[in-house]
Amino acid sequence: MKICIYLTLLIMISCASQTEDQALTKLDQAWQQFELRHYSAAIDLFKQVITESKNLEASVGLGYSYMFLSDYFNSTLILTQAYSDYGNKADLLAALVLVLNAEGQDLTTSNLFADELLIVDPQWKFGHQLNLTVNDIYLVQAQNYYLLGDFVKSIEMIQLLDSTFNADISTEAGKLELGEQIDNMNPGL
């Protein structure tokens, strides 16, 4: 009888281990597709990983993939749910900063997530070949503040990236110069 119990436990443990290994393999495949900019294929794989086992990294990848397909609604939905489930993880916060900025509907919240990211990981760098760094977050904050009409904070963010930049933001010409600097520094995604 003890042998049957041990065999049953051994089988259960090995099956659970196989499922986790398969999910990890699919997660790696999903990121490979993402890095190749095959976002639809990445979405399918990230969804499979999430279905098999709740996974922060897959949720983040799914959110980024939707964002790069300009599906901001689904991206925001996935990322805010992941934030609710997992809290303030750096790649998740960065994705929320970017998608809320791209969506253009909640720039204040985008800046709040940026502030949170800068506390969690002041040297943040995205690890999946997009060359996104904390400097991109500063630039997004500068753009958000500019669009919100907070030119003082906007120029502060730009000066973190280019300490030589100066514009008289008390004038319309200075505000225009600041806007042009933001546009010139934006590499796009």
102 pLDDT more than 80: yes
Tens-place pLDDT, residues 2-58? 444 443 333 444 444 455 555 558 999 999 999 999 999 999 999 999 999 889 999
Q: Can you give the pLDDT at residue 98?
A: 96
Of residues 138, 118, 132, the one with CA closest to residue 181 = 138
pLDDT recorded at residue 43 = 98
Q: Which one is the CATH code of 2-132: 3.10.580.10, 1.25.40.10, 2.60.40.10, 1.10.940.10? A: 1.25.40.10
Looking at the predicted structure, is the pLDDT value of residue 101 above 70?
yes
Residues 6+ apart with CB under 8 A from 37: 68
117-156 pLDDT, tens per residue?
999 999 999 988 678 999 999 999 999 999 999 999 999 9
Q: What share of the chain is helix, strand, coil (3-state, %, to 5)?
A: 75, 0, 25
Q: Which two tokens stand for residue 178?
A: 């600041």
